[in-house]
Amino acid sequence: MRSLFAIAAIALLSACASQTPAPAPAKAEAALAPAPAAKKAPQCWNGDVGAFQDIGTKTTVSGVAVECKPTADGKAAQWMGAKH
């Protein structure tokens, strides 16, 4: 019985010792990953046409002239009253 435990222990230790660590991801694989897309400028949603409109677009909403302008932080855009 002791010899069975000894053989099992030796087999376990030799199996663990013979394993090699997983290789680190190659730089070539990282180069194949797609580059992040360029950040798109903020836009305003126009429900009348069902699409986003670029900054500077002028239109009328409920008879009011509006223009798509960036917010103060520049991270978004909103419809604001157009100046004549």
At 22-49, the pLDDT tens digits run: 666 666 555 566 666 677 889 999 888 8
Phi–psi pair at 31, nearest 5 degrees: -70, -25
- Does residue 80 form part of some domain? yes
Q: Which domain holds residue 84?
A: 41-84
Count structural domains, the chain.
1
In a domain, 71, yes or no: yes
Reported pTM? 0.51
pLDDT of residue 31: 59
As a whole-number percent, the residues of the chain with pLDDT over 70 amount to 65
Strand spans (E) along 33-83: 43-46, 51-54, 58-61, 64-70, 77-81
Tell me if 30 is assigned to some domain. no
Query: What's the one-letter identity of residue 76?
Result: A
**8 A C-beta contact, residue 61 and residue 47:** no
Q: Does residue 74 sit within a domain?
A: yes
Identify residue 56 by its one-letter amino acid code. G
| Span 54-64, average pLDDT | 89
Residue 76 maps to a domain: yes
